[in-house]
């Protein structure tokens, strides 16, 4: 990837997308930063300069930028570029503990944690102990790195503490920790993949997981193939929609232009009906066992978490996602005390859309329905033979749909893991 350049007078030419930006004087690189919205972030440096900005902003002659597909990729690319190019003012501030590093210990069971320094870890007695540890970084935004690690830990569970009890911990219950007796080979593969992702090698990791999934399926190791498929899906969802530069869920909803999103949805769904309440649905199970489904709710584009619902599937231990989806929707529509949605978004493709339509049309035919397939982020609509690609939609609309899918998957898999834990301990 290479920087594209504009003069500082032409900031309006910079796109409003995630990415990395750079400030240059006539001949040298001054500073590299990252942003969820490149144009707005660059404008802020000039309009509301910090005390650090004042050291070099009057030297800026041109601005470079690189677009990325997500905020996480912007964060990781910024780290790679700072390390490779050593911008003058980034280097100047690197030694004052304002930068962060992801530390990975070289133990039998490697630990992952955030560090300010690259050679030492402070022990409880305030002395320093040299660790055989590798470091990834530097990262300029500690909170964004923490959110990234928190998201990636759902895909590649890891240890953060020095010792694990002989019992399941709270992170085990959330699917974020490998547990007291991990599969050592699998754990080391997960750490290797986590490191590769943090080095900006997401595509390489996706290809590796796809090859392992195909090999497991060919060897009839279906549960392992399912785990790898879930890892693939989770990783793609995280990179598609993670908002790591916003400190809270409330802040993430600020600025949602729902009237514009609603108008676009009305257009593609062929309706003039108001769309206010939207619900998303996803199924999570392991070969049909401990199957669950989720129903996150959005009102005017904002998550209404008090109205989220989850279901334990009553269908027998049969891996039939279509039947599970039909059961979920039928049970949901029996709850007239819950406001009916204007729109339902189903996780899946044509098959899931067809199954959903049969269940909904038999009870509430006025509800609008669409299905979002993970491959290529395709949106399937009733009566249309070809799907719409989210990348062709306005970014606020695609972000909204991906946010719904992400919430549905997160909510379903969290409940599924909880039921699996209860079932395992019960045996």
**Residue with token string 């754990």:** 187
> Where a domain ends, among 94, 111, 142?
94
**Of 152, 45, 137, the residue nearest 100 (C-alpha):** 137
Any domain includes 246: no
pTM: predicted TM-score of the whole model, two decimal places: 0.55
Alpha helices (runs of H) in 113-180, residue ranges in sequence order = 142-155, 170-173
Q: What is the DSSP letter of 117?
A: S
* CA gap 344, 401 in Å, rounded: 11
Alpha helices (runs of H) in 199-317, residue ranges in sequence order = 202-218, 222-241, 249-253, 258-269
Cβ neighbours for 366, distance < 8 A, ≥ 6 positions apart: 273
* CA gap 34, 81 in Å, rounded: 11
pLDDT at 98: 63
Q: Tell me the β-bridge partners of 31.
A: 23
Any domain includes 224: yes
> Where a domain ends, among 181, 208, 241?
241
Looking at the fold, whether 236 and 127 belong to one and the same domain comes out as: yes
> Where a domain ends, among 94, 115, 133?
94
Residue 352 Cα distances to 18, 294, 346, 355, 394, angstroms:
32, 15, 7, 5, 25
Q: Tell me the β-bridge partners of 67.
A: 19
Looking at the fold, whether 353 and 405 belong to one and the same domain comes out as: yes
Looking at the fold, whether 77 and 108 belong to one and the same domain comes out as: no
pLDDT at 362: 84
* CA gap 135, 100 in Å, rounded: 10
* CA gap 190, 11 in Å, rounded: 41
Task: Kindly give the pairing relationship between strand 289-295 and strand 4-7.
Answer: unpaired
Looking at the fold, whether 104 and 82 belong to one and the same domain comes out as: no
Which structure tokens are listed for 205? 């990791």
pLDDT tens-digit profile of 3-18? 999 999 999 999 999 9
Any domain includes 55: yes
Looking at the fold, whether 151 and 79 belong to one and the same domain comes out as: no
Residue count of the chain: 427
Which structure tokens are listed for 387? 């799907």
Any domain includes 226: yes
What is the CATH number for 282? 3.30.420.340
* CA gap 358, 422 in Å, rounded: 33
> Could you say which residues of the chain have pLDDT below 70?
51, 92-98, 117-131, 241-242, 246-255, 286-290, 316-319, 415-416, 419-427
Looking at the fold, whether 178 and 280 belong to one and the same domain comes out as: no
Looking at the fold, whether 128 and 261 belong to one and the same domain comes out as: no
Q: How many domains does the chain have?
A: 3
Q: What is the DSSP letter of 93?
A: T
Burial string for 337-353 (b: 16+ CB within 10 Å, else e) reads eeeebbbbbbbbbeebb
Any domain includes 248: no
Looking at the fold, whether 152 and 15 belong to one and the same domain comes out as: no
Domain range for 218: 100-241
Looking at the fold, whether 275 and 415 belong to one and the same domain comes out as: yes
């Amino acid at each position: 990837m290479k920087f594209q350049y504009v003069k500082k007078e032409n900031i309006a030419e910079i796109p409003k997308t995630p990415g990395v930006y750079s400030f240059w004087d006539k001949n040298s690189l001054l500073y590299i930063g990252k942003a969820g919205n490149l144009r707005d972030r660059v404008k802020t440096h000039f309009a509301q300069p910090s005390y650090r900005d004042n050291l070099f902003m009057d030297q800026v002659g041109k601005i470079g930028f690189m677009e990325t597909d997500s905020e996480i990729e912007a964060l990781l690319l910024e780290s790679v570029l700072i390390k490779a190019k050593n911008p003058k003012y980034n280097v100047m501030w690197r030694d004052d503990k304002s930068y962060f590093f992801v530390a990975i210990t070289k133990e039998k069971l490697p630990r992952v944690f955030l560090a300010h320094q690259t050679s030492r870890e402070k022990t409880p007695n305030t002395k320093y102990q040299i660790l055989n540890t590798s470091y990834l970084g530097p990262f300029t935004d500690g909170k964004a790195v923490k959110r990234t690690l928190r998201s990636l830990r759902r895909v590649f569970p890891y240890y953060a503490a020095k010792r694990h009890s002989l019992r399941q911990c709270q992170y085990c219950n959330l699917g974020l920790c490998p547990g007291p007796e991990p599969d050592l080979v699998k754990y080391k593969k997960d750490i290797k993949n986590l490191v590769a992702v943090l080095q900006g090698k997401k595509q390489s990791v996706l290809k590796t997981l796809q090859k392992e999934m195909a090999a497991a399926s060919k060897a009839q190791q279906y549960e392992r193939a399912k785990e790898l498929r879930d890892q693939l899906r989770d990783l793609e969802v995280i990179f598609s929609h993670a908002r790591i530069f916003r400190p809270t869920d409330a802040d993430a909803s600020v600025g949602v232009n729902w009237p514009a999103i609603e108008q676009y949805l009305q257009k593609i769904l062929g309706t003039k009906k108001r769309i206010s309440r939207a619900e998303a649905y996803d199924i999570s199970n392991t070969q049909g066992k401990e199957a669950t489904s989720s129903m996150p709710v959005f009102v005017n584009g904002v998550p209404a978490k008090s109205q989220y619902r989850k279901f334990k599937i009553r269908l027998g231990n049969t891996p039939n996602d279509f039947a599970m989806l039909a059961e979920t929707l039928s049970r949901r529509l029996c709850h007239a005390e819950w406001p009916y949605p204007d729109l339902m978004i189903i996780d899946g493709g044509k098959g899931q859309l067809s199954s959903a339509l049969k269940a909904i049309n038999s009870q509430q035919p006025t509800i609008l329905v669409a299905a979002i397939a993970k491959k290529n982020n395709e949106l399937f609509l009733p009566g249309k033979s070809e799907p719409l690609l989210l990348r062709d939609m306005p970014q606020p609309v695609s972000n909204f749909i991906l946010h719904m899918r992400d919430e549905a998957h997160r909510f379903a898999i969290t409940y599924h893991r909880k039921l699996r834990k209860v079932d395992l301990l019960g045996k």
